[in-house]
């Protein structure tokens, strides 16, 4: 079987399963708004774990992560391995806190919690931050995945054509199956992603005869890869700390993750999913380490997509085809959830705007997703250096909103004035200005994102403590 | 130990382990020695810290059951 035929065969099987899962999701939804937007609010362990896993790990994990090991060496383990284990602990704590927060409330989205705590100003800041940082992030993923497909698939489909195919497929199954359909498709995509990366890692290990020999070969070829800060000097202590904070805070700063944790069925799901996630993440990162170190000694390439493209071309046609589908899956599994979360949050942020327009919320969310698909396509095809900076710094950008969102989750039944949303919006604006070079990226030897997050967190804690003191005084007076 | 204190313990323990991973103990500038099981220092130390946090996660999971 040649490469073209193998790709078409695997792609057709994959598409058939994807659409079938979306249709199953659609049937279970029975046209109900709550089912469509929140999958009925009762997510089980297996689907919950797979959707969380696939949504968190975008194309970065299949293309970026092995390439990071290839270019920056073993210090990448500190950036991803240590960080992801800490993320799992934070996820466990957060999901238990979310359970307490949303118990006996009609939970629809994070915007609702923010509105309760900060009125509509908090919601406005939150949605604005999401749109600014998530759209470029999605666009860059689509660009990366479509670039590899255009380069490796032996048919004359241009990059923009692949971008349209990815976005169309995503829109199709999202609008058919709603959140439930997305989570079913994510589960499939999570399995494909994990399988693909381990198949490639096994082949590499088989070629080299073990990880020890691989490390030996790296020591001879590029010894700087075996220590920090790596050959390019990127993995400095401050860089690693900034990466650690922005990744650990993802479950609270990215709505697609927070909403999944919010709709888990019960306590058992909340306890098991972080552990399952950490276990599979550990294995995934080991595979990425193996592939990356192999790339360092055997695959010269200028970029991540070029490296993965060459690696795929080394495989036999069927494995290569599965790997390409894995890239497609990775691009879609994060973006679909981000689009859907944006649609839900915008609908709720506008005070269930769909009702005012006399349009069903389902139709409204589908429309919002369509608009963001088109916007992402335009941004992906026209991406400038500024857009790339926004995408790369997207996690830190959304992390700046984490103190505000955490306050909304932890302070049930309390309302705050505008100080926290105002501080959040100022920190977002300063951070954006630094990305575009209008404000220095370093102040007194410290990264500006770390300074902003520290100030933001300190002010938030201060405001919360003052509010608690006020409430206690009022309570004492009353009694 | 009640739930709040338990979580303080787990939070502080994870924080200390993560903080150690940013020190020269784990990421000494340009140093690969000593090797352990054929792996350079940053890698085996990083793997060790990740596994330690994983153990804490499992303990946190096991002890959070009594919230039922």
pLDDT one-digit tens code per residue, A135-189? 888 888 888 888 888 888 878 889 999 999 999 988 988 888 888 988 898 888 8
* Those residues with Cβ within 8 angstroms of residue A405's Cβ, 6 or more apart along the chain or in another chain: A110, A113, A114, A126, A252, A253, A258
Angle at Cα A322 formed by Cα A138 and Cα A174, nearest 5°? 40
Which CATH number goes with the domain that contains A14?
A: 1.10.4160.10
From first to last of its 479 residues, chain A has per-residue pLDDT tens of 677 888 888 888 988 988 899 899 889 888 888 888 888 888 899 999 999 988 888 767 777 889 889 999 999 999 999 999 999 999 999 999 998 888 767 777 888 889 889 988 899 999 999 988 888 888 888 888 888 888 888 788 899 999 999 999 889 888 888 889 888 988 888 888 888 889 989 988 888 888 888 999 999 999 999 998 999 888 889 889 988 998 999 999 888 899 889 888 889 999 999 999 999 999 999 999 999 999 999 888 888 888 888 888 888 888 888 888 888 887 887 888 888 888 888 887 776 667 777 788 888 888 888 998 999 899 888 866 666 666 667 888 899 999 999 999 998 888 888 899 999 999 999 999 998 889 998 898 899 999 999 999 999 999 999 988 887 777 777 76
Predicted pLDDT of residue A63: 77
Backbone dihedral angles phi then psi of residue A41, each to the nearest 5 degrees:
65, 25
- The shortest C-alpha distance from A270 to chain B (Å) reads 9
For the stretch A324-348, pLDDT in tens is 888 888 788 788 888 888 888 888 7
Predicted pLDDT of residue B66: 56
- Element holding B7 (H helix, E strand): helix B3-21
- The shortest C-alpha distance from A212 to chain B (Å) reads 5
ipTM comes to: 0.95
- Per the structure, the complete domain to which residue B48 belongs is given by 3-67
Residues of B in contact with A219 (CB under 8 A): 32, 40
Residues in chain B with pLDDT values less than 70: 66-68
Predicted pLDDT of residue A41: 80
Predicted pLDDT of residue A316: 83
* Residue A363, token pair as written in the block: 């139709």
Name the domain count of chain B: 1
Predicted pLDDT of residue B68: 44
Q: Please indicate, yes or no, if residue A189 is contained in any of the structural domains.
A: yes
- Per the structure, the complete domain to which residue A137 belongs is given by 3-106+124-347+360-384
Q: Please indicate, yes or no, if residue A22 is contained in any of the structural domains.
A: yes
Q: Please indicate, yes or no, if residue A466 is contained in any of the structural domains.
A: no
B38 and A215 in contact by Cβ < 8 A?
yes
Q: Which of A58, A93, A430, A458 is nearest to A274 (CA)?
A: A93
Interface mutation vs chain A, best among B28, B45, B50, most A CBs within 10 Å: B50
Q: Please indicate, yes or no, if residue A404 is contained in any of the structural domains.
A: no
Predicted pLDDT of residue B22: 93
Query: What is the dihedral sign for C-alpha A286, A288, A289, A294?
Result: positive
Residues of B in contact with A82 (CB under 8 A): 17-18, 21, 46, 49-50, 53
Q: Please indicate, yes or no, if residue A410 is contained in any of the structural domains.
A: no
B67 and A211 in contact by Cβ < 8 A?
no
Name the domain count of chain A: 1
């Amino acid at each position: 079987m040649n490469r073209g035929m193998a790709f078409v065969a695997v792609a057709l099987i994959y598409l058939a399963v994807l659409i079938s899962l979306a249709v199953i999701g659609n049937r279970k939804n029975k046209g109900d708004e709550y089912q469509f937007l929140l999958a009925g609010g009762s997510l089980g362990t297996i689907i919950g774990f797979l959707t969380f896993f696939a949504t968190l790990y975008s194309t970065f994990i299949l293309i970026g992560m092995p390439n990071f090991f290839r270019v920056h060496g073993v210090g990448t383990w500190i950036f991803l391995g240590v960080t992801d284990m800490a993320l799992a602990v934070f996820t466990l704590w957060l999901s238990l806190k979310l359970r307490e927060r949303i118990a006996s409330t009609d939970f629809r989205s994070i915007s609702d919690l923010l509105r309760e705590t900060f009125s509509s100003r908090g919601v406005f800041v939150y949605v604005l931050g999401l749109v600014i940082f998530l759209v470029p992030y999605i666009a860059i993923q689509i660009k990366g995945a479509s670039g590899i497909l255009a380069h490796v698939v032996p048919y004359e489909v241009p990059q923009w054509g692949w971008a349209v195919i990815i976005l169309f497929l995503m829109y199709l199954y999202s609008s058919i199956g709603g959140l439930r359909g997305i989570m079913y498709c994510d589960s499939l995509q999570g399995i494909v992603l994990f399988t693909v990366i381990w198949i490639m890692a096994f082949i590499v290990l088989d070629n080299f005869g073990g990880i020890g020999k691989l490390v030996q070969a790296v020591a001879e070829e590029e010894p700087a890869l075996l220590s920090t800060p790596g050959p390019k000097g990127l993995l400095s202590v401050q860089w690693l700390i900034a990466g650690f904070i922005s990744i650990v805070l993802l479950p609270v700063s990215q709505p697609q993750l927070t909403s999944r944790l919010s709709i888990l069925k019960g306590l058992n799901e909340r306890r098991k999913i972080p552990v399952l996630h950490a276990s599979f993440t550990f294995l995934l990162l080991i595979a990425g380490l193996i592939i990356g170190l192999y790339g360092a000694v055997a695959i010269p390439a200028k970029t991540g997509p070029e490296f993965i493209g060459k690696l795929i071309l080394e495989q036999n046609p069927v494995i290569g085809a599965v790997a390409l589908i894995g890239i497609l899956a990775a691009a879609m599994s994060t973006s679909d959830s981000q689009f859907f979360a944006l649609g839900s949050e915008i609908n709720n942020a506008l005070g269930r705007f769909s009702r005012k327009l006399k349009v069903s919320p389902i139709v409204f969310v589908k429309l919002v997703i369509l608009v963001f698909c088109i916007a992402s396509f335009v941004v992906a095809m026209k991406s400038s250096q500024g857009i790339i900076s926004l995408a790369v710094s997207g996690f830190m950008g959304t992390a700046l909103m984490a103190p505000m969102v955490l306050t909304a989750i932890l302070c049930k039944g309390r309302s705050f004035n505008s100080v926290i949303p105002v501080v959040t919006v100022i920190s977002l604006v300063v951070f954006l200005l630094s990305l575009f070079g209008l404000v220095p990226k370093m102040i007194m030897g410290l990264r500006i994102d770390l300074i902003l997050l520290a100030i933001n967190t300190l002010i938030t804690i201060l405001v919360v403590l003052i509010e608690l003191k006020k409430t206690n005084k009022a309570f004492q007076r009353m009694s | 130990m009640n739930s709040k204190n338990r979580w303080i313990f787990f939070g502080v323990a994870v924080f200390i382990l993560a903080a150690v991973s940013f020190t020269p103990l784990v990421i000494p500038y340009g140093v690969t020695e000593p090797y352990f099981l054929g792996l350079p220092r940053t890698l085996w130390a990083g793997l060790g810290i990740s596994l330690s946090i994983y153990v804490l996660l499992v303990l946190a999971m096991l002890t959070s059951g009594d919230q039922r």
